[in-house]
Amino acid sequence: MNSLYLAFGIAVVFLIAYQTYGKFLARKIFKLNPDAVCPSRDLQDNIDFVPTQKSILFGHHFTSIAGTGPIVGPAIAIIWGWVPAVIWVIFGSIFIGAVHDFGSMVVSMRNQGRSIGDIAYDVINKRVRTLFLIIIFFELWIVVAIFGVVIAVVFDMFPQAVIPVWLEIPIALWLGHMIYKKGLPHLPLSIGALIVMYITVLIGAYVPIEMPALFGLSPIALWVILLLIYAYIASTLPVQILLQPRDYINSHQLFVALVLLALGVLFAHPVMVAPTTDFSPEGAPPIWPMIFVIMACGAISGFHSLVSSGTSSKQCDAESSSLSIGYGGMLMEAMLAIFVIIACGAGFALGMTKDGQTFTGLAAFSQHYSSWGAAAGLGSKISAFVVGSANMIERIGIPYQIALTIMGVFVVSFAATTLDTATRLQRYIVNELSIVCRVPTLGKRHPATFIAVLTALFLAFYNGSGKGALKLWPLFGSVNQLLAGLALLVVTAYLAHKKIPARYTMIPMAFMLFVTGWAMIINIETFYTESNWLLFSIGILVFVLEIWMVAESILVLQRVYSKKSESGTNLHF
């Protein structure tokens, strides 16, 4: 199939979905009130609670939820064929993922900007809140450590990205100062900042910086240490100093990247050489249910509920803004996932080099995706997207080396946003857990951030390599999607208490909990067969927590609906 028709057709579908289903949810289900006082104003502290213009917050929210998730997942899921991957992105994002993000944000905004896990106390019970917060802590523990590794791996693979990524920090600090201290208009300044950043991209393309091995540590290990130090600083600063302006620049960078990819598709219009379906690639797990777990971001991701209810809800200036930020942001990420599928399934076939030999067409795809093992690994997944994208962008006249740097910087910039946003979110979770455990001192800004960074550092270096978090990576997909199902469970309970039709979140919730539980059972069986007792034990623990939380939640929902039935209120499922 011609990739041009594929991209254009799906973009139209997403626009229609936003104008119809998204606005229906906003009016009839969540009943947004543009005059409601939001936590950003009611609890304004100019550190975490900061009223933010919709366009700026959209940039922060999108770059936080995206990271490398919509790149890594589709880049591996395409091994089962591009059609299943595309179908899951379309239907998953419109009816599950965007509803999940939007609902989490609205519910949090109506509960003082608290996390979706903490809100479980109000709509379910205290035990479920504690269990939920533990699962969230576990997820963020892996995310912070993993994204440190992701960025380090990209720096090692594409050293051209080092200068632009690190110079983006002073550019963002300058932008934040000019907007918030000087009161100057943000749009022209941010465009100017973006231009300066792309000048650094040109420099980086021809001045790559390679980290040497020092003190017995590998380059990747050293990068992980530096990145976690950066994450500590960035996540404790007021959001308007670094987080918002940098993410605003990144949102512009996103649009530039999407435009370049769209132009690459338009001019190159490569044919999808990836198979339409391949349900049994060599060494791969079963497509059902694993595609729903492996390809998370781009369709639905539990991490998004933490961003929606963690940072974005504390900065949203009005309830009406949550539609474009929550629902629209998810559809934008889904469109990025579609471009990733095209880059891997078509752009990659324009040319790839392996062992000194260049392959094109189906041969290129087959070389990279010859088996599950061949396509595995962070480097393999990221390189498929970066190389495929650079191949298409080169067709519009941009030199390949510069195109490669642009996409490398794009990947790292988004991953860096996820890194420090996840660290900030972990601080919030530590704070909420400190209240549950009655040790509020640990929940203060610096002690909580120290715990977040130190635990991630321990996970990264428990085996001395800096890549220790990769040991838990096989569990991440299942835990992440379990979190998505539980977030939908909390939103469903909220709607039930408010006597609002809950089927629009209840059906996605049931689907996500079912496929996640199914995938978890498959993983546990695999860990047992391989005698991987660490992952086997953690998998069993997480699965038991899931069953426990769902059982308690069902009892609460039954009581809620029983009371409504006795009072004569119509039930809505």
DSSP string across 47-81: SS---B-HHHHHHHHHHHHHTTHHHHHHHHHGGG-
Task: Decide which of 284 and 370 is more confident.
Answer: 284
Higher pLDDT, 127 or 320: 320
Across residues 138-157, what is the average pLDDT? 88
Evaluate whether 293 touches 478 at the Cβ level (below 8 Å).
yes
d(CA 495, CA 491): 6
The tens digit of pLDDT for each residue in 54-71 reads 988 998 898 888 877 788
pLDDT digits (tens, 9 = 90+) for 484-520: 999 999 999 999 989 899 999 999 999 999 999 999 9
- Check residue 374 and give its pLDDT: 67
Measured CA to CA, the distance from residue 311 to residue 316 in angstroms comes to: 9
Percent of the chain with pLDDT strictly greater than 70 = 96
> Phi/psi at 352 (nearest 5 deg)?
-145, 145
The torsion of the CA quartet 137, 557, 98, 337, rounded to 10 degrees, works out to 60
Q: What is the model's pLDDT at position 570?
A: 45
Q: Between the CA of residue 47 and those of 183, 311, 325, what are the distances in Å?
A: 18, 11, 20
Cα separation, 407 vs 195, in Å, equals: 16
Least confident of 158-167, 369-378, 469-478: 369-378
Q: pLDDT at residue 468 above 80?
A: no
CA gap 570, 342 in Å, rounded: 47
**Is the pLDDT confidence value at 356 over 80?**
no
Which is more confident, 265 or 474? Answer: 265
- Looking at the predicted structure, is the pLDDT value of residue 530 above 60? yes
User: What pLDDT, in 10s, does the model give residues 278-288?
Assistant: 998 888 889 99
How far is the C-alpha of 474 from the C-alpha of 203, rounded, in Å? Answer: 37
CA angle 353, 358, 360 (to 5 degrees): 105
Asked which of 8-12, 123-127, 395-399 is least confident by mean pLDDT, the reply is 123-127
Average pLDDT over the chain, rounded to an integer: 88
Cα gap 396→402, rounded to integer Å: 12
Mean pLDDT of 302-312: 94
- Does pLDDT of 75 surpass 50? yes
Output Rg (C-alpha) for the chain, integer angstroms. Answer: 22
Q: Whole-angstrom Cα distance, residue 563 to residue 12? A: 43
Tokens 């393309």 locate to 205
Q: β-strand 357-359 against 352-354: which pairing, if any?
A: antiparallel
Q: How many helices (H) and strands (E) does the chain have?
A: 26, 2
Report, as an integer, the average pLDDT of 404-432.
Answer: 89
Cis ω for the linkage preceding 159 (within 30 of 0) = no
The predicted pLDDT at position 381 comes to: 73
pLDDT at 355: 66
* CA gap 59, 50 in Å, rounded: 15
Q: At what angle do helices 69-77 and 82-92 cross, to 10 degrees?
A: 140
**CA nearest neighbour of 140 among 495, 455, 462:** 455
